[in-house]
Amino acid sequence: MSQPAQPGYPFSAVVGHADLRLSLLLNAVHPGIGGVLVRGEKGTAKSTVVRALAALLPPVEVVSGCRFSCDPTAPDPRCPDGPHAAVVADHRAARLVELPVGATEDRLIGSLDLERALSEGVRAYQPGLLAAAHRGVLYVDEVNLLHDHLVDLLLDAAAMGRAHVEREGVSVSHAASFLLVGTMNPEEGELRPQLLDRFGLTVEVRAARDIDTRTEVIRRRLAFETDPAGFAAEWTAADAELAERIVAARAALPGVALPDAELRRIASVCASFDVDGMRADLVVARTAVAHAAWRGAAAVAEADIAVAARLALPHRRRRDPFDEPGLDQEQLDQALRDAAADADQEPPTPDDDPTPDGPGGGGSPADGDDNGGQTPNGRHTEAPRGGDHTQAPTRPDEAFRARVLEIAGVGEGAPGRRSRSRAGAGRALRASTTQGSGIHLVGTVTAAAPFQHDRGRDGTALIVRPGDVRRAVREGRESNLVLFAVDASGSMAARKRMAAVTGAVLSLLRDAYQRRDKVGLITFRGGAAELALPPTSSVEAAVARLRDLRTGGRTPLADGLLRARKILAVERLRDPRRRALLVVVTDGRATVAATGRTGDPVTDALRAASVLAAEGVASIVVDCESGPVRLGLAGRLAVALGATGLRLEDLSADTVAGVVRAARAA
């Protein structure tokens, strides 16, 4: 006998997180807002709140037997299970469908039942998660770790309300209208700004620092774990009230007026934040209408726009991948005052927490010697001989579009955009019985064709057995671990050269962000190497460390290389499939022997480089030496590493393109 399902944590019992609760409720009222992206540190009850929302949604009436949840009052004329002639209605709860990080494209949008298609001669289609989520909630935990092409697919479906499948000569389209909720921990990497913009609203959640609030979170969570059913029963009335309010707001939504004066206010606020495109204006308008319906008003007011702007604009202000997300409340207030002044109105006074009050509220759970450098005022100084002179951080030069750095060969690592790999998406190379993903149609038909007579084929349909199925081996792109080893010694810091160096590394970091790489940062100066940033998917953290980089002192190049070797060894154990690319940024002027040695520093550095080369580490040496007299030490280092050597000025993709154009013109 099956056990009854354990009740989930009640939505009304969540402590705090007012903006998160409000964003979810407004999307439940008006799915056209475009969903919610929830950003926050681990352990802040993001998943708990999202899962609790599904229980508040009203039941849906569906066509009996329809796998695509068609509304019996208005069946989808293009439903793959249609046409629905004699409609029989069923009632069921709104679904919460979860998309796992490891999901494939077939799992998301659906796939063809190839065996039925070939053996029965029908275009059989197996629905995916988008079909299951229709008229419900699609929840994507760790959406920032989902492959970009899957994020594109689900956001397109969310925006259009339909999913389209075009493959192997079969075309299927079905309704896919759902409340999209994505959660992410920014420490694990960011979404691209282009994808951020596709989410309607965004919310930052943090654990409360107030002792009383934290105490109440613990108290309620322990009570729920002790007696889930009893705890849920205590909040049944509060959740029922919210559910009724959602139904009432949905019914009132079409009748809410949006006056022209408020439309102008929305346009004025969005223009003042200089957001790209018109999506922000539309989202703010829809959210303001939903908020007015939620509070029972007949028309949108200034306070509704203030709330909508606070939720819809923060993630749309990022002009660069490394811009800090968020919204300056003072700037928003000023923008609203300016808009009010244009309309000769008073500034708004939005409610800080417009959500209903339940019991207890509701969130939860440059060359020079090694001692020379550049002072902040731009004057060149000399430190005492034999000492390690530390300078304040140097402001990096402006970042540029970096040339593509790749690892030779073909890997099988995490999906990304840098190096070639055997992947689940990309160009089909061949058919295989053991490798690959998805069906290789031609290979499957070819394998089945010779046996049709023996299988008693007497019609036009091809008889296919499981052993005939061939998978497609595809070549795509993978992300890599890009480990930067940056020389921060005095010889690199002189004559403002460190500004150019850090600007170049910043450009490479931006490129790593766009290609979905994991990055780490080692710096070496003075007497030792330092792991400034352990390998992480959060490139923003690397940028923060780089901008705070202090320089000066001697050059322990050998220790920097050996430290990189240790880091790479650990990462190979953690993630054997992810290939590493070591980028050494230096002028090659080693002045400190390896730890525990008293030999020649340059010899030690070359010996360390040879060890890395013997282990097959793919490397690139960025030669930062400048001036009329050059020793070529970075070039020798590149040879010892078996690495590609580049000049600092060659890192710009525009520079490389110019050289190619000049060569063609000649």
Coil, strand or helix: which one is 82? coil
Q: What distance in Å separates the CA atoms of residue 227 and residue 231, rounded to the nearest whole number?
A: 6
Contact status, residue 428 vs residue 473, Cβ threshold 8 Å: yes
Please, where in the chain does CATH 3.40.50.410 lie? Answer: 372-407+480-660
Scored b (16 or more CB within 10 A) or e, 551-579 reads bbbbbbbbbbbbbbbebbeebbeeeeebb
Q: Is residue 579 a contact partner of residue 414, using CB atoms and an 8 Å limit?
A: no
**pLDDT one-digit tens code per residue, 368-413:** 333 333 333 333 333 333 445 667 677 777 778 888 888 888 887 7
Nearest to 111 by CA among 544, 424, 363: 424
What's the pLDDT band for 653 if we cut at 50, 70, 90? confident
Check residue 641 and give its pLDDT: 95
Q: Is the peptide bond before 534 cis (omega within 30 degrees of 0)?
A: no
- Compute how many other C-beta atoms are within 10 angstroms of the C-beta atom of residue 106: 17
**What is the DSSP secondary-structure string of 298-366?**
SB--HHHHHHHHHHHSGGG--SSTTSPP---HHHHHHHHHHHHHHTT-PPP---S--S---TT-S----
Q: Where are the beta strands (DSSP E) in 452-506?
A: 471-478, 481-487
Instruction: Using alpha carbons, select from 292, 294, 279 the residue that is nearest to residue 200.
Output: 279
Q: Residue 329 pLDDT > 90, yes or no?
A: no
User: How much is the pLDDT for 118?
Assistant: 56
Listed as own residue / partner, the contacts of 512-516 with beta carbons closer than 8 Å and 24 or more positions apart are 512/482, 512/539, 513/190, 513/321, 513/322, 513/539, 514/192, 514/321, 514/417, 515/416, 515/417, 515/418, 515/477, 515/479, 515/480, 516/148, 516/189, 516/414, 516/415, 516/416, 516/417, 516/418, 516/479
Q: CATH second-level architecture of 1-58+94-365?
A: 3-Layer(aba) Sandwich (3.40)
Closest of 653, 404, 414 to residue 511, by C-alpha: 404
**Residue 73: how many CA atoms within 13 Å on its side-chain side?**
3
Backbone region of residue 201 per phi and psi (left: phi > 0; alpha: psi in -120 to 50; beta: other values): beta
Interacting residues of 33 by C-beta distance below 8 A, sequence separation 6+: 26, 27, 200, 201, 283, 286, 287, 290
Q: Would you state the pLDDT for residue 311?
A: 92
What mean pLDDT comes out for the span 299-316?
Answer: 91
Segment holding 148, helix H or strand E:
helix 148-160
Count CB neighbours of 499 within 10 A.
17
pLDDT tens per residue, range 196-216: 777 899 998 888 888 999 999
Q: Please, which residues bridge with residue 258 across strands?
A: none
User: Taking a C-beta distance cutoff of 8 angstroms, is the pair 451, 126 a contact?
Assistant: no
What's the pTM? 0.66
Q: Angle at which helices 18-29 and 302-312 pack, to 10 degrees?
A: 110
Q: What is the pLDDT of residue 383?
A: 39
Return the ∠ at Cα 418 (arms to 414 and 420), rounded to 5°.
75
Position 5 confidence tier, pLDDT thresholds 50, 70, 90: low
What is the pLDDT at residue 165?
80
Q: Is the peptide bond before 363 cis (omega within 30 degrees of 0)?
A: yes
Other beta carbons within 10 angstroms of residue 104's beta carbon come to 16
Residues 628, 632, 635: CA angle, nearest 5 degrees: 140
pLDDT of residue 629: 72
Name the CATH superfamily housing domain 372-407+480-660.
Answer: von Willebrand factor, type A domain (3.40.50.410)
Question: Among 533, 548, 643, 652, which residue's Cα sits nearest to residue 586?
Answer: 643
Question: What is the b/e burial string over 125-154, where b = at least 16 CB atoms within 10 angstroms of the residue's CB?
Answer: bebbbbbbbbbbbbbbbbbbbbbbebbebb
Phi, psi of 282 (to 5 degrees): -65, -40
Q: Which residues contact 349 (CB under 8 A, 6 or more apart)?
A: 303
Cβ atoms of 588 and 634 closer than 8 Å: yes
Cα of 403 vs its chain's centroid, Å: 23
Question: Mean pLDDT, the chain, as a whole number?
Answer: 80
What lies within 8 Å, CB to CB, of 454 at 6+ separation is: none
Residue-wise pLDDT tens digits, 420-443: 877 665 566 677 777 777 777 777
Higher pLDDT, 484 or 464: 484
Catalytic residues: 279
